[in-house]
Amino acid sequence: MNDLIIIGGGPAGSAAGVYAARKYLKSVLIAEEIGGQSTVSDGVENWIGTVKISGADLAKSLKDHLEAYKADKLETVIGERVEKLEKIDGGFQATTSSGKTYQAKAVLIASGASRKKLLAKGADTFEHKGVTYCASCDGPIFAGQDVVVVGGGNAGFETAAQLIAYAKSVTLIHKRAHFKAEPITVNKVLAHPNMKAITGVVPLEVTGDKFVTGLIIENVETKEQTTLPVSGVFVEIGVVPNTHFAKGVVELDEVGRVITDPKNQHTSVEGIWAAGDCTDELYHQNNIAAGDAVKALEDIYVHLKTK
Ligand SMILES: Cc1cc2nc3c(=O)[nH]c(=O)nc-3n(C[C@H](O)[C@H](O)[C@H](O)COP(=O)(O)OP(=O)(O)OC[C@H]3O[C@@H](n4cnc5c(N)ncnc54)[C@H](O)[C@@H]3O)c2cc1C
């Protein structure tokens, strides 16, 4: 039996892998890929100690760091998803998408989050043909064009702020009358002459031929429909934690995030810790995910060696 199973290979999982190997814990890290969500980013400018690094290079450096320390203590299983996590005698068992099983005395859940998909008609068909989930990756393609941002939270306004630098116009749509984003950000972004917001509307259908040509929206009260003539639809409607395998195993909050003790990242179940974007941590950043995983590893080590 392993000492530890680490589920995830983003900043949290990678940090945990390095710490586990350096502490000589016999561990297995299972992840679909190494790098995590910001791998698609053009430039990460707040990874401490590095002025600017592309998401791809950040992923490579996490991978290199794991490789440098893993020796014979850390096994990495990349390209597999954990589908099931269960309690067994003396520990826990994780079952992957290919049916392989791994056992350990302790588990760190670091499986992060995925973007919520737009459910409007045509959104699937036009993904990567005008419908996008990453302004920093795809924004420049829409230089000089009319685009729409779906979502009135901070992410929506930050996306709009990025796009307004080169798009001809940016329209932000939001289903409620009031924005969730901070007022200071809202006011700053909406002050731009090429920026406008429409509230109280929902996206109904993405239209187009080969590429997007419009977005049909509907007023939630009057049901009146309007077509916005846009070539880009940027979706910022939140994230969903990747925790389906943990349901019924550890306590999750109402949106499926693992509830943790912020002092040590421990979950509701003895022997299971969680870190990063899959938890109920308030802030979602690379440094926080890595730091929380390090905190968890310190506690896991003490737990394993003093139990
Ligand atoms: C486009 C974009 C740009 C960003 N830019 C920045 C930035 O500039 N600075 C910043 O600080 N933050 C940025 N963020 C936020 C940052 O990326 C996240 O806070 C951070 O990646 C969280 O790390 P994590 O390790 O918790 O999870 P994630 O990065 O989500 O990694 C999750 C890992 O778990 C794996 N996984 C998921 N489900 C399973 C499963 N069932 N079984 C096995 N493995 C699984 C995934 O493959 C991945 O390896 C950005 C996010 C996005 C989307």
Amino acid identity at 99? G
With the C-alpha atoms ordered 226, 231, 236, 237, is the resulting torsion angle positive or negative? positive
Find out whether 277 and 292 touch, Cβ atoms under 8 Å: no
Does residue 32 have its Cβ closer than 6 Å to ligand 1?
yes
Identify the residue whose C-alpha is closest to ligand 1 atom 29. Answer: 36
Q: Which residues pair with 241 in a beta bridge?
A: 113
pLDDT at 143 over 90: yes
pLDDT digits (tens, 9 = 90+) for 229-288: 999 999 999 889 999 999 999 999 999 999 999 999 999 999 999 999 999 998 888 999
**297 sits in which H/E element:** helix 286-306
pLDDT confidence bin for 40, thresholds 50/70/90: confident
Q: Where are the alpha helices (DSSP H) in 141-210?
A: 154-163, 183-190
Residue 154's contacts (CB-CB under 8 Å, 6 or more residues apart) are: 180, 181, 182, 185
What's the pLDDT score for residue 221? 96
Does residue 214 have its Cβ closer than 6 Å to ligand 1?
no
pLDDT at 137 over 80: no
Ligand 1 pocket test, candidate residues 38, 162, 235, most atoms within 8 A of CB: 38
pLDDT digits (tens, 9 = 90+) for 67-79: 999 988 999 999 9
Calculate helix-pair angle for 11-22, 286-306, nearest 10 degrees: 30
Identify the residue whose C-alpha is closest to ligand 1 atom 6. Answer: 38
Q: What is the pTM assigned to this prediction?
A: 0.84
Residue 30's CB is within 10 A of a number of other CB atoms, namely: 24
What's the pLDDT score for residue 41? 76
Does residue 17 have its Cβ closer than 6 Å to ligand 1?
no
Identify the residue whose C-alpha is closest to ligand 1 atom 2. Answer: 38
CA dist 176 and 92 (Å) reads: 44
pLDDT digits (tens, 9 = 90+) for 224-235: 999 999 999 999
Identify the residue whose C-alpha is closest to ligand 1 atom 38. Answer: 111
In the block, tokens 């994230």 appear at 239
pLDDT confidence bin for 293, thresholds 50/70/90: very high
Strand pairing category for 146-150 and 169-174: parallel
Report CA-CA distances (Å) from 143 to 140, 170, 173, 293: 5, 11, 20, 39
Mean pLDDT for the stretch of residues 149-175: 94
Centroid of ligand 1 to alpha carbon of 252 (angstroms): 19
What's the pLDDT score for residue 282? 86
Nearest atom within ligand 1 for CA of residue 279:
26
Enumerate the active-site residues.
134, 137-138
Find out whether 110 and 8 touch, Cβ atoms under 8 Å: yes
Mean pLDDT for the stretch of residues 99-113: 98
Nearest atom within ligand 1 for CA of residue 12:
25
